[in-house]
Amino acid sequence: MKAKAVVHKEFRIGRIDDRVYGAFLEHLGRAIYTGIYEPGHPSADEHGFRRDVIKMVRELNVPVTRYPGGNFVSAYNWEDGIGPKESRPVTLDYAWRTKETNEVGIDEFAAWCEAAGTELMLAVNLGSRGLDEARGLLEYCNHPGGSRWSDLRIKNGRREPYDVRLWCLGNEMDGPWQVGHKTAYEYGRIANETAKAMKAFDPTLQLVACGSSHSLMPTYPQWEADVLDECYDNVDYLSLHMYFENYEDDYLNFLAKPVILDRYIQTVSGVIDYVKAKKRSKKDIYISFDEWNVWYHCRRQDSDNFKSWDWPEAPALLEEVYNFEDVLVVGCILNTFIRRADRVRIACIAQLVNAIAPITTERGGRAFRHTIYYPYLLASRHGRGESLAVAVDTPRYNAKAADDVPYIDVAAVHDQAAGTVALFVVNKHPDEETELTVDLAGFPSARLIEHILIHHPDLKAVNSADAPDVVKPQLQNGSLVEEGRVLCRLKPRSYNLIRLSV
């Protein structure tokens, strides 16, 4: 199979916001307890955080981490997680039917963020609570002192404000499964009033309103239009979520599903533009895709289990075991965000540790990187800069999920400061090696730095604590640059990063 692409230096989509490589941690299963926090573990620091996990997160260079939910936040009282640990109440989490010890709250998580080199993206409870709870949490986190909540933070041991800049106004409020589920009008009103109050405190805060939980919701995309009708003037981002499944074990159909993601972004962008025009506004609202990942390996089984269990503490829940096939889908998802850099400014892989996550830990034992850790790592490291438009001429196929699906998926990033161009290329073809030619218009002196490959002959190959390196990146030979063109051979079913000095 042969394919061609053209990348032009001047055909820029937009600057990629670093926060596109963000992550998410919720009080869900073992994400927090025995995930990032495990006092007594051999690697635990003085705060009880696992240093082995912090090291892996730092390698990813995660710019922002969303917390504490997720479904969890919609019935969460943040005040339960502050003050002396011995006096904190044990509570019940209705979202995942588990027992919450509240050992980790806002102060502990903020300390973890500092240790892991990531900024805090906080969600407020607009399910069971509302504006007043959000106002109190905002003052606790961001006010220097001299008020009830800021003085309580100081009393609890943190003198300097956390200065959280990015706030989520609830979570998935369109979902009937959500505690405090609301209609679009009800949610839009409370989001608007909460946003007004928060911006009265600090007009430079960035606020995220809830869009549709996924593109199959019966209220989509009318939900976006109705919510923005109420709060457009006071919010900055609209949140979208999507998880990717392969219950049918249909490889090509699975690899077609990121096309749905692209159309989802395109549709919601159109709704945003419609409301902007309707309101005669000069203000732009961008997309925060703050939950995304592959999620199906244990989803149905766990969904049945947790609804009947008797409030366990930090149980194993949603602990996906990712395979090589998932690498290709995650690579295409990340490529989509790069190509939509003009619209998507924030994205959070869900989640970061143990629950639907690229990192898994053993209680008291080892931590290891799942297969999907690696496309996330490579995109985060080398996918920062300017997103360039790519014209791709490639054979295509039709699938149940989408028609006209390209076999070759390409995203290009120009890092002007570093003097590099990164080409992220997924060859979806199940059988055929592809000869790819990329014309580099405007980059006459380009030379090859490296071609990094993630490939395995078995689509179902996985990493584990005992065999952590079954699927991992490797250097690939066979690519070259001649007269302003990249010539490379792509293995079938492969993820490729081709880095160029320009």
Q: Measured between alpha carbons, how far apart are the two ends of the chain, in Å?
A: 28
Q: What is d(CA 117, CA 63) in angstroms, rounded to the nearest whole number?
A: 7
Confidence tier at 306 by pLDDT (50, 70, 90): confident
Q: What local confidence, expressed as pLDDT, does residue 267 receive?
A: 98
In one letter, which amino acid is 306? F
Q: What local confidence, expressed as pLDDT, does residue 502 receive?
A: 93
483 pLDDT exceeds 90? Answer: no
- Compute the chain's Rg from CA coordinates: 23
* Torsion from C-alpha of 361, 310, 25, 266, nearest 10 degrees: 120
Q: Check the CA dihedral 403-404-410-414 and report its sign.
A: negative
233-280 pLDDT, tens digit per residue, is 999 999 999 999 999 999 999 999 999 999 999 999 999 999 999 999
Q: What local confidence, expressed as pLDDT, does residue 478 receive?
A: 77
Q: What local confidence, expressed as pLDDT, does residue 462 receive?
A: 98
Confidence tier at 293 by pLDDT (50, 70, 90): very high
Of the candidates 421, 423, 392, the one whose C-alpha atom is nearest the C-alpha of residue 407 is 392
Annotated active-site residue 291? The verdict is yes
* Torsion from C-alpha of 496, 356, 76, 22, nearest 10 degrees: -10
Q: What is the CB neighbour count within 10 angstroms for residue 278? A: 12
Extract the tokens encoding 87: 């006096």
3-state DSSP of 358-391: CEEECCCCCEEECCCHHHHHHHHHHCCCEEEEEE
How far lies 426's CA from each of 9, 262, 329, 349, 476, in Å? 22, 16, 9, 19, 14
* Torsion from C-alpha of 22, 182, 106, 313, nearest 10 degrees: -100
> Is the peptide bond prior to 395 cis by the omega test (within 30 degrees of 0)?
no
Q: Looking at domain 2-10+387-501, which CATH architecture does it have?
A: Sandwich (2.60)
Q: What is the CB neighbour count within 10 angstroms for residue 114? A: 12
Partners of 6 in beta bridges: 391, 439
41-76 exposure pattern, b = at least 16 Cβ within 10 A, e = fewer: beeeeeebbbebbbebbeebebbbbbbbbbbbbbbb
Q: What is d(CA 41, CA 49) in angstroms, rounded to the nearest whole number?
A: 9
Extract the tokens encoding 256: 């077609």
Q: What is d(CA 150, CA 142) in angstroms, rounded to the nearest whole number?
A: 8
188-211 pLDDT, tens digit per residue, is 999 999 999 999 999 999 999 999
How far lies 338's CA from each of 267, 379, 485, in Å? 17, 9, 22
Instruction: Provide the percentage of residues in the chain whose pLDDT is more than 70.
Output: 100
Catalytic residue among 133, 139, 230, 291: 291
Confidence tier at 104 by pLDDT (50, 70, 90): very high
176 pLDDT exceeds 90? Answer: yes
Q: Check the CA dihedral 459-463-469-475 and report its sign.
A: positive
Q: Superfamily for 17-382?
A: Glycosidases (3.20.20.80)
Sequence length of the chain is: 502
Q: What is d(CA 51, CA 65) in angstroms, rounded to the nearest whole number?
A: 17
Could you tell me which residues come within 8 angstroms of residue 132 by beta carbon, excluding any fewer than 6 positions away? none
Q: What local confidence, expressed as pLDDT, does residue 244 receive?
A: 98
- Burial label, 484 (beta-carbon count in 10 A; 0-12, 13-18, 19+): middle
Q: Check the CA dihedral 490-496-501-502 and report its sign.
A: positive
22-67 pLDDT, tens digit per residue, is 999 999 999 999 999 999 999 999 999 999 999 999 999 999 999 9
Q: What pTM value is reported for the model? A: 0.97
Partners of 427 in beta bridges: 408, 494
Q: What local confidence, expressed as pLDDT, does residue 307 receive?
A: 83
In one letter, which amino acid is 12? R
351-389 pLDDT, tens digit per residue, is 999 999 999 999 999 999 999 999 999 999 999 999 999
Q: Domain limits of the chain?
A: 2-10+387-501, 17-382
In one letter, which amino acid is 376? Y
> Is the peptide bond prior to 221 cis by the omega test (within 30 degrees of 0)?
yes
Catalytic residue among 38, 133, 172, 230: 172
